Structure 1
């Protein structure tokens, strides 16, 4: 059974609906995600085709690397998504910032990326998550710097 999730930026200028939302989410500890969000990026991946946006005129994007862009609300600055812009295993998917969701019920924290870049001061409780180092992420998904 697929789950529909809704969300919005802080000011409400950008809203979205995700069809077939996953039951899990993860964290990325790369330097770019930490600088973009102020900590690890907590998010979930969905195909672009499963997202319906409203208020797209308020979405601003930045090509943050040779292979990906990041987006935010230009009114309030909320981090909206990370999207691959080149072909590869993640092409056609968008990573939505978890904090934008109206309801996180039913979701579980199941993976962490760039764990070798994770600051000592940041640690999440619980066990059983899949973890990948920088080298493992690049081996699985390609690229050469922070995703």
Structure 2
């Protein structure tokens, strides 16, 4: 079981089961939402419990995806592909160690020009 919360604590989460390895998305939308790139892990919706869900605000960033954040403190929480059974949980939400390692960088063609990806992890243009 993995626990986490937003910055102010209005939203807390619990993920049961194993955490899949996270990826880091460098697309323009993720960079604008988070201020850098978005590291997240895709978990089955059935494995995610959200306490304080009334504080989660959803932004429809496209016809297929919505992005969740805390309406109180603004913390980035979720990337949710609508009509799928998985939801991406921001790695920064988790309290303590997760025991995972980054497995890929995606949309690297869109990354900011102010940093380099030099960690030896798989890189994909999409």
Structure 1 and Structure 2 fold alike (TM over 0.5): yes
Cα distance in 2 between the residues matched to 1:75 and 1:44? 23
For the pair 1:6 / 2:3, whether they are aligned, the reply is: yes
Q: 1:98 is matched with which residue? A: 91
* Alignment size in residue pairs: 126
Q: 1:108 is matched with which residue? A: 101
Kindly report which structure 2 residues correspond to 1:131-146, keeping only aligned pairs within 5 A, or say none: 131-134=123-126
Q: Which runs of 5+ in 1 are unaligned?
A: 135-147
Q: Which runs of 5+ in 2 are unaligned?
A: none
1:4-40 CA-partner distances (Å, limit 9, x unpaired): 1110000000001001232521100000000000000
Aligned-CA RMSD value: 1.3
Equivalent of 1:20 in 17, 35, 55: 17
1:107 Cα offset (Å):
1.2
Cα distance in 2 between the residues matched to 1:117 and 1:101? 26
Kindly report which structure 2 residues correspond to 1:72-83, keeping only aligned pairs within 5 A, or say none: 72-83=69-80
- 8 A contact 1:23–1:106 mirrored in 2: no
> After TM superposition, where is structure 1 displaced by more than 4 Å over at least 4 residues in a row?
none
Q: 1:51 is matched with which residue? A: 48
Equivalent of 1:119 in 87, 105, 112: 112
Equivalent of 1:30 in 27, 30, 33: 27
